[in-house]
Amino acid sequence: MKQWGRMAKYLSLFCLCLLLVISCTPKQQANTPSPGSVNTLAGDSRITIGTTEKPRTLDPADAYELGSLSLVFNMSDRLYTYEPGSTEIKPQLATELPKVSTDGLTYTIPIRKGIVFHDDTPFNAKAMEFSIQRFIENKGKPSFLLSDTVASVKATGEYELTIKLKKPFAAFPSLLAFSGVCAVSPKAYQIGAGKFVANNFVGTGPYKLAKYGTDSLRFDIFDKYWGEKPTNKGVNVQIQTSPVNLFNAFKTGAIDVAYLSLQPDQIQSLEASAKKGDWQAISAQGSVISLMALNRNQKPLDKVEVRQAIASLIDRQLLNNRVLLSQADPLYSIIPTTFNVSLPLFKEKYGDGKFEEAKKSLVAADFSQANPAKVQIWYPASSMTRSLVAQTLKSLADTKMDGLLQIEVKTVEGATFYKEISKGLYPSALLNWYPDFLDPDNYVQPFLACEKGADATGCQTGGSQTQGSFYYSETMNKLIDQQRKEQNPEARKKIFADIQNQVLTDVPYIPLWQNKDFIFAQKGVTNVNLDPTQNLIYKTIKK
């Protein structure tokens, strides 16, 4: 009996301890990741997305980087959005495309009814007026997109918006599809220069922001969303500190989808494993282009024959294979093949690696082995890709041009590069261009237009001065103005052909390549797509 009593006492003590252990163990709640972590439990229908793109802000009036805009895009709606796989826009918060006045200055837009913001504020034309005015008047990084174009915006009815332009601009509806020109709640935001809300977002989109952290964000379903609901139960965004960490997180299954930004060798490795069935590799043609700017105010590039010689020297196939690991498409126009107005004129006239033609052009410009053309190529130091491109071009000049052309490679810190290029310090420069909106105009006007300049001095104020070519052509200015005013698509297409032919002759820029976008998804994850502006579309992804 004493022995049993001792056993009973010990058993009671054991049960008490067990109860305490169970009671004190923290419970993991479903679908609630701890700070900095993401829930990837088997059977969890939330999607975990990994990226290295850290958002600077979530305020659409100040968001101008892909890392910020992609998040805003998925939490918001705009008046217009893009058809899947197309650069054609369709109504979103608007019910139809704008009615345009005969002078091309007034746009009347009918607004959708029955929509509320994430904070339950009703959406109407007045709320859209507020959102657009705020985008302009708060003077954030992208504000110029509308401030340079819009004269006034007014709710002319509860569900009608009227926008008047300063001058005709045929691509204006595409501007209204820019991620930052989205509807935001008038109760959650203020109008005023610099009055931004960096760590929150209140819009009308399919997701609302549930958590904002330095290394992770959580998007929950907005249950009052007016449109088609997401096919998943929410999204966790995991921000990796480096491409290596993103690469490893995907390989170990810690994330469902990896997008932006992996290195070319990592993409190559993941593609090889995808072919074995380890996961999915999804590629899409991108809208980002790379090109070389040639400064017409710097010798010897003041001679068009030298610019034409460099155009003949470029070997895009070599660059694509050796530098880009076949992860891009060679580009032969300043306008990418995303648009049906793009013409591969550089391929027809200059080709790739036409060294004999390059030599003839240099000789015609009075250069020789005793008097070679000397050209510097500049690029930002952080860009390994552009470093390899510059070194490859130097190698081609050294080995193929018989001493007629000497290339010197120069680099500088990124912030300095972008500040100094508009001052004309760089004879030539390697540039990437991320479009602000999807229209051929955005690949033409920012590079070729000049507000103030002359044939003798080049461009003093304008797009070509900002991009470092200092190109000036009164003919080009007129063509750009014409295409901006022209509402007829076929007539506008003809004008873009004239613009591209002028670039072919004058060679202020040399197109190099058009990027491809690569996304990697685990097996069982479906409907992974990009919109034409490189935004990963969250709401269609499911597993």
Task: Provide the pLDDT for residue 36.
Answer: 37
- Residue 77: helix, strand or coil by DSSP? coil
**Do 136 and 80 fall into the same domain?**
yes
Q: Which domain holds residue 88?
A: 47-278+523-537
Return d(Cα 343, Cα 346) in angstroms, integer: 8
Task: Provide the pLDDT for residue 415.
Answer: 84
Whether residue 187 lies inside any domain: the answer is yes
Q: 500 φ, ψ to 5°?
A: -65, -35
The strand pair at 373-380 and 405-412 is best described as parallel
**Do 269 and 339 fall into the same domain?**
no
3-state secondary structure 55-123: CCCCCCCCCCCHHHHHHHHHHCCECEEECCCCCCEEECCECCCCEECCCCCEEEEEECCCCECCCCCEC
Element (H, E) at 97: none
**Do 388 and 466 fall into the same domain?**
yes
**Do 171 and 196 fall into the same domain?**
yes
Structural domains counted in the chain: 2
**Do 397 and 494 fall into the same domain?**
yes
**Do 251 and 358 fall into the same domain?**
no
Whether residue 20 lies inside any domain: the answer is no
Task: Provide the pLDDT for residue 261.
Answer: 87
CA triple 303-476-287, angle to 5 deg? 95
**Do 270 and 395 fall into the same domain?**
no
Q: Is 536 exposed, middle or buried (0-12, 13-18, 19+ CB in 10 A)?
A: buried
Contact 236, 36 (CB under 8 A): no
Whether residue 359 lies inside any domain: the answer is yes
**Do 527 and 512 fall into the same domain?**
no
- Residue 412: helix, strand or coil by DSSP? strand
Whether residue 22 lies inside any domain: the answer is no
Whether residue 160 lies inside any domain: the answer is yes
CA distance to 368, 463, 494, per residue, from 480 (Å): 38, 12, 12
Low-confidence ranges of the chain (pLDDT < 70): 1-43
Task: Provide the pLDDT for residue 9.
Answer: 41
CATH of the domain at 529: 3.40.190.10
Q: Is 12 exposed, middle or buried (0-12, 13-18, 19+ CB in 10 A)?
A: exposed
**Do 271 and 230 fall into the same domain?**
yes
Contact 171, 442 (CB under 8 A): yes
Of 234, 114, 100, residue with least CA distance to 162: 100
CATH of the domain at 360: 3.10.105.10
CA triple 142-55-216, angle to 5 deg? 155
Whether residue 434 lies inside any domain: the answer is yes
Whether residue 257 lies inside any domain: the answer is yes
**Do 403 and 497 fall into the same domain?**
yes
**H-helix segments, 60-166:** 66-75, 125-137, 144-147
CA distance to 122, 375, 401, per residue, from 350 (Å): 57, 19, 15
Return d(Cα 342, Cα 180) in angstroms, integer: 27
Q: Which residues pair with 90 in a beta bridge?
A: 81
Q: Tell me the pLDDT tens digit for each residue of 282-339.
A: 998 899 999 999 999 999 999 999 999 999 999 999 999 999 999 999 999 999 999 9
- Residue 114: helix, strand or coil by DSSP? coil
Residues written for the chain: 543
**Do 372 and 270 fall into the same domain?**
no
Return d(Cα 338, Cα 439) in angstroms, integer: 9
Structure tokens at 41: 């439990």
**Do 354 and 244 fall into the same domain?**
no
Buried b (16+ CB within 10 A) or exposed e, 472-507: bbeebbebbebbbebeeeeebbebbbebbebbbebb
Whether residue 200 lies inside any domain: the answer is yes
Return d(Cα 490, Cα 496) in angstroms, integer: 10
Where are the strands (E) in 440-534, listed by range? 452-454, 458-461, 509-521
